[in-house]
Amino acid sequence: MPSTSFPVPSKFPLGPPVAVGGSGETLGPSAPAGGTMKSAEEEHYGYATPGLGAGLPLSAAHPSLPAPCHDLQSSAAGVSTVGYGGAVDSGPSGYFLSSGGIRPNGAPALESPRIEITSYLGLHHSSSQFLHEVDVEDVLPKRSPSTATLNLPSLEAYRDPSCLSPASSLSSRSCNSEASSYESSFSYPYASPQTSPWQSPCVSPKTTDPEEGFPRGLGACGLLGSPRHSPSTSPRTSVTEESWLGARTSRPSSPCNKRKYGLNGRQLSCSPHPSPTPSPQGSPRVSVTDDTWLGNTTQYTSSAIVAAINALSTDSSLDLGDGVPVKARKTTLDHSPAVALKVEPAGEDLGTTPPTPDFQPEEFAAFQHIRKGAFCDQYLSVPQHPYPWARPRSPTSYTSPSLPALDWQLPSHSGPYELRIEVQPKSHHRAHYETEGSRGAVKASAGGHPSVQLHGYVESEPLTLQLFIGTADDRLLRPHAFYQVHRITGKTVSTASHEAVVCSTKVLEIPLLPENSMRATIDCAGILKLRNSDIELRKGETDIGRKNTRVRLVFRVHIPQPNGRTLSLQVASNPIECSQRSAQELPLVEKQSAASGPVLGGKRMVLSGHNFLQDSKVIFVEKAPDGHHIWEMEAKTEGDLCKPNSLVVEIPPFRNQRITSPVQVNFYVCNGKRKRSQYQHFTYLPANVPIIKTEPSDDYEPALTCGPMSQGLSPLPKPCYGQPLALPPDPGACLMPGFPSRPQGSASPELHDLSCAPYGSATAGPGHSPLGLPRPVGGVLTSQEAPRPSGVPPGPPQPPPPTLLQPQVSPTSSGSCSPGRRPALCPHSPSSPLPPGTREPTHLQPCGPAHPCGTGHQQHQPLEVPSSEPAAARPLPPPEVREDSNRSLAPISITVKREPQELDPLDLDDVNEIIRNDLSSTNIHS
């Protein structure tokens, strides 16, 4: 493990800043050793950690918001502060406020003690949890300062101890542990309190911890964010807190019983104890649970209530909040109880997290520590880890503070820079469970390993490439709740890496060195599968794990800018099927020869992928915003040409030959009742599409639906959500420091729109997620929030008033963590499937406010507001953008271009009428 520590530390610019602040402080207090290291780091970096913490401000605002993560992110953004060091901007205050109680003090306060409470498995009840939280908060303050840093880590570690034991593979554990510790500190920023807990655990325990930690952590973000709805049910409901805990516990327990629902349900998790099996873990989990519990219980009172309310108000939010948030929140909230309450309502998650933000890193750390510590403590109190590597890490960890939340959609290129995946990973990679040994690093389809390169960077300063496991569904890209990146070490691994935890999401940090042309070979990243039962129980988790087995590798790089800001770029790989069974049976479309075609159909399209059968069927589907299928048509396939890896289909004519603007539909390959590929995007172009289309709006709509996805070629073009590339809502997002960009007015409105539409539809239809964002409390957010959000689409179904919007936005951002919330921005590329990676802000277009952005699912898509993005982001990207570019700029026009091909010069008049009708209709709908 330690080995991992690379020399790099210094190299990673980011790390230092972030980590430093939080970690350093925290460490110092609690663990001498660790502390020292961190402190050292901090010194080097000189961040203002505290300030950074401030970055969080947003979060504070968000409090209401659900996702802690968001908070973090948002906060960062909001703060705009300095990139790394970030200053804090006013944000902090905001945070505090928002956090309400959060106050720094409070936050830290988390009372580790509470942890003890943990015991309370029985608590199940949320109420109890809240209570805990409260307590914690109270406690925190006290400790926060001193203990916080070090202690937490230690605590966590200790807690995790349980984890430790459990853990299985060294690599992971070791990594985790190490990383985790650091991470935790770092993470704060991002992660909100939530994170912390996780992290801490992870960290400390070293080995095992990691896993546990992640899951939990994941839960926070992932849960929130993701919501898959899909499947249906979502277990999580009840448990939020518990779930977190449970999750943790459960794993360990795995042995025991997996899921007994009864068990799970609650306590069982507690069962975590049970988990013990996993030995270490068991306890750890327990602890965790405890934590959660505690948190819950304590805070419960107020927060619980609030949460409940919130939940009611906003579904998605709720979940989020519920999940991890609770604790986190609580903790954070704790700081300011009153506030907390408020927050919670809004978005639990947010609230929680945010609070943290406020606090200085230290505080966060404290929180985390506390939590962790609490948990851990109770269980184990092991000394923290050695920090040897700690320092090194710290550099890496930097990210946290002001960096954009992991669920933020960021562009892959901006100005002269472009982050590109030179070698895509294989479409299948069997993830390993914690109970199994590692299944190795993700490989490239052609052998070797994926590789990523940052183009356009001419500085001599090394950067850190972040890697985390993201979702691959139609929705916006976000950390995957059920999968975590797993650090692979060993003789076969040539790339140095270090694990960090951000918002409960494990992030692998890999050095990008100028001497290597800023290129990194990803041979150190495996994929860990978390048990569905563990994750679904999380408070905030809305996604379900069943059949949610596709992921994408998400790479990020944060480039310091002369103006003190940080430009963040992100690119996501093609989807990777991680299920053994699915990989063997489900058809997978990796590429399609055409992303769009005339409404008349008749053209052939070649699909390449896996598991195609002679009798495979290709079904084209048009979905309404609410998710209903408006039209379904089986395409003719050429059996003769069908091969396991390729399928030739004849594009069927669209139901409406008179469309005036491109219409995005989906199609999938079906090998049987339950053996369907993911939806792929396809855009029907008007037969005549004269350029008439003038109205962007029209175009947009269509585009929205799918557009984004197209970027890449990605096989998966998922519909709207596509996330793939989504852009960041705002470019600004990209820039860490000042989120100023965000503020950009226009954006916000748009966002709102998006959010509204998307969310609404999203939720409605597919069911997904929970977008519901809490509205948050817009008020709460205040200015701070506004900034950040830009990217994020607001969750709320309906757009709030302008003012609110911003706030919401921010919340959303914060919410990013939360599933529902994710930003809606989407690139417009209409149909074309964008590669995941690509996304540019610019590309994004705002969806009409009203529009449901596209089809139901797509709604999420949002739109983006290019303008909103900060200059940095904005810079359009270089040509590379590809499809996106087209989209981006003028979605409409672009579309138009396409159309021409097929269009006939038909009757413009008719066309115009149609357009008008469409518009009017759309407006109405909207």
Binding-site ranges for DNA (CB under 7 A)? 169-171, 231-233, 251, 254-255, 258-261, 430, 432-441, 488, 490, 526, 529, 531-533, 545-549, 579-582, 585, 672-675
Q: How far apart are CA 556 and CA 592, in angstroms?
A: 27
Q: Judged by CB, which is closer to DNA: 24, or 252?
A: 252
Q: Least separation, in Å, of the C-beta of 623 and DNA?
A: 18
Q: Least separation, in Å, of the C-beta of 446 and DNA?
A: 15
Q: Least separation, in Å, of the C-beta of 170 and DNA?
A: 4
Other Cβ atoms within 10 Å of 733 Cβ, number: 41
Contact 525, 251 (CB under 8 A): no
Q: Judged by CB, which is closer to DNA: 290, or 543?
A: 543
- Sort residue 410 into left (φ over 0), alpha (ψ -120 to 50) or beta: beta
> Residue 76, SS3?
helix
Record the tokens describing residue 655, joined without a space. 């139901």
> Residue 666, SS3?
strand
Name which of 112, 37, 520, 185 is nearest 331 in CA terms: 112
Q: Judged by CB, which is closer to DNA: 70, or 428?
A: 428
Q: Least separation, in Å, of the C-beta of 526 and DNA?
A: 7
Name which of 325, 292, 293 is nearest 306 in CA terms: 325
Q: Judged by CB, which is closer to DNA: 154, or 237?
A: 237
Q: Judged by CB, which is closer to DNA: 505, or 549?
A: 549
Q: Judged by CB, which is closer to DNA: 234, or 303?
A: 234
Q: Least separation, in Å, of the C-beta of 439 and DNA?
A: 5
Q: Least separation, in Å, of the C-beta of 452 and DNA?
A: 20
Amino acid at 479: P
Q: Least separation, in Å, of the C-beta of 527 and DNA?
A: 11
Q: Judged by CB, which is closer to DNA: 254, or 466?
A: 254
Q: Judged by CB, which is closer to DNA: 230, or 861?
A: 230
Q: Judged by CB, which is closer to DNA: 336, or 677?
A: 677
Rounded to the nearest 10 degrees, how much is the dihedral formed by the CA atoms of 75, 77, 81, 87?
A: 30
Q: Can you give the length of the chain in residues?
A: 926
3-state secondary structure 371-425: HHHHHHHHHCCCCCCCCCCHHHHHHHHCCCCCCCCCCCCCCCEECCEEEEEEECE
Contact 62, 810 (CB under 8 A): yes
Q: How far apart are CA 393 and CA 186, in angstroms?
A: 9
Q: Judged by CB, which is closer to DNA: 206, or 251?
A: 251
Rounded to the nearest 10 degrees, how much is the dihedral formed by the CA atoms of 218, 439, 283, 530?
A: 30
Q: Judged by CB, which is closer to DNA: 673, or 879?
A: 673
Q: Least separation, in Å, of the C-beta of 677 and DNA?
A: 12
Burial of 344 from C-beta contacts in 10 A (0-12 / 13-18 / 19+): buried
Q: Judged by CB, which is closer to DNA: 419, or 444?
A: 444
The structure tokens 């419960």 sit at: 300
Contact 742, 787 (CB under 8 A): yes
Q: Least separation, in Å, of the C-beta of 546 and DNA?
A: 4
Q: Least separation, in Å, of the C-beta of 88 and DNA?
A: 40
Q: Least separation, in Å, of the C-beta of 91 and DNA?
A: 38
Q: Least separation, in Å, of the C-beta of 278 and DNA?
A: 8
Q: Judged by CB, which is closer to DNA: 440, or 795?
A: 440
Q: How far apart are CA 208 and CA 463, in angstroms?
A: 29
Record the tokens describing residue 455, joined without a space. 């183009």
Q: Least separation, in Å, of the C-beta of 172 and DNA?
A: 8
Pairing outcome for strands 596-598 and 680-685? parallel
- CA of 91: how far to CAs of 19, 71, 105, 843, 899, in Å? 19, 11, 16, 29, 46
DSSP alpha helices (H): ranges in 463-608?
Answer: 532-536, 580-585
Pairing outcome for strands 566-572 and 505-512? unpaired
Q: Judged by CB, which is closer to DNA: 488, or 754?
A: 488
Q: Judged by CB, which is closer to DNA: 437, or 602?
A: 437
Q: Judged by CB, which is closer to DNA: 233, or 921?
A: 233
Q: Judged by CB, which is closer to DNA: 440, or 866?
A: 440
Q: Least separation, in Å, of the C-beta of 493 and DNA?
A: 8
Record the tokens describing residue 557, joined without a space. 């790089």
Q: How far apart are CA 623 and CA 618, in angstroms?
A: 16
Record the tokens describing residue 518, joined without a space. 């800023």
Q: How far apart are CA 134 and CA 331, in angstroms?
A: 7
Q: Least separation, in Å, of the C-beta of 682 and DNA?
A: 23
Burial of 371 from C-beta contacts in 10 A (0-12 / 13-18 / 19+): buried
Q: Judged by CB, which is closer to DNA: 198, or 682?
A: 198
* Cβ neighbours for 322, distance < 8 A, ≥ 6 positions apart: 126, 236, 237, 239, 240, 241, 243, 307, 311, 348, 538, 539, 540
Record the tokens describing residue 779, joined without a space. 């008020």
Q: Least separation, in Å, of the C-beta of 175 and DNA?
A: 11
* Cβ neighbours for 206, distance < 8 A, ≥ 6 positions apart: 1, 157, 160, 164, 167, 173, 174, 176, 177, 178, 180, 385
Q: Least separation, in Å, of the C-beta of 234 and DNA?
A: 9
Q: Phi/psi of residue 466, each to 5°?
A: -100, 145
Q: Least separation, in Å, of the C-beta of 262 and DNA?
A: 9
